Amino acid sequence: MSRPLTVLVVDDEALARSRLRTLLGDCTQPAAQCLGEATNGAQALAWLQHHLADVVLVDIHMPGADGLSLARALAGLTAPPVVVFVTAHAEHALQAFELDAVDYLTKPVRLERLQSALQKVERFRQSRQALEPDLTDEFLIVPGRGRLERLPLSQVLYLKAELKYLTVGTATATHLLEGSLSEQEQRHGNRFIRIHRNALVARSALRALDRHEVGPDGSGWAVRLHGLAESLPVSRRQLAAVREAFGT
């Protein structure tokens, strides 16, 4: 069974938000979970800086940044949430679909109509996942540019344990991530191999196993990764597993 769709409800009327939250709780195919509410586009963007949602249910006429402005802003994000407009004004439908909205609901919203819209959202997500599996399926959630971002695992070269955080390294940047190395190894062991008690590296990025300066643990080996200038030391305990990964 797939997980429930996560939803942000954006409407300046409290009663309308409450109504949508109740309807979302009654949806089953697919199920949906309202994670947050906002009263205008600016609040919605602020919320999305710290949370991720599959779909945004948004009114059009709101004080401040309206729903159309929000949809334009979301279109510029990497893997943005899907937009479904929920409004009392039917005359904006053409403009809404020009902004790639998946559906356009008119108030008062019926459960059957909302369920139909969420089914469209689910089909859209599945088609996007088929085209971009690394982006929509296997990724890490990392802070970046004032918001949380999806970092595809295909771009991650290594993860290093640093006190309470993990340093996530790509060919062009590093990110800090809360959590443990063991947790990431358990989740993504098919993609990464442990080379040290405090480091995992991408199996697909392994390029060479070289003699190296003997480290504190007595190891004299290090791996080179595609796209990374520095070599990363291999501990004596992990050397056999790394050799096996290279087929030696």
The pLDDT tens digits of the residues spanning 175-217 come to 988 888 988 888 888 899 999 999 999 999 999 999 877 666 6
Quote the DSSP letter at residue 4: P
Domain-wise residue ranges, the chain? 5-133, 139-245
CATH numeric code, 139-245: 2.40.50.1020
**Spatial contact of 171 and 207, defined as CB atoms under 8 Å apart:** no
CA separation for the pair 68, 25 (Å, rounded) = 26
Model pTM score = 0.56
Query: Would you state the pLDDT for residue 48?
Result: 84
The pLDDT tens digits of the residues spanning 13-41 come to 999 999 999 999 999 999 999 999 999 99
What percent of the chain is predicted at pLDDT more than 90? Answer: 43
Confidence of residue 219 (pLDDT cuts 50, 70, 90): low
CA separation for the pair 194, 198 (Å, rounded) = 8
**Spatial contact of 193 and 242, defined as CB atoms under 8 Å apart:** yes
Query: Would you state the pLDDT for residue 134?
Result: 43
Query: Would you state the pLDDT for residue 212?
Result: 78
Task: Write down the mean pLDDT value for the chain.
Answer: 85
More confident residue, 146 or 174: 174
Residue 137 has pLDDT above 50, yes or no: no
What are the C-alpha distances in Å from 40 to residues 12, 60, 69, 109, 197?
6, 9, 10, 19, 47
Domain 5-133, CATH number (from 3.40.50.2300, 3.50.30.30, 1.10.357.10, 3.40.47.10)? 3.40.50.2300
Query: Would you state the pLDDT for residue 144?
Result: 66
Average pLDDT for 98-113: 86
Query: Would you state the pLDDT for residue 94?
Result: 64
Residue 44 has pLDDT above 60, yes or no: yes
**Spatial contact of 12 and 41, defined as CB atoms under 8 Å apart:** no
- Quote the tokens at residue 112: 């059957």
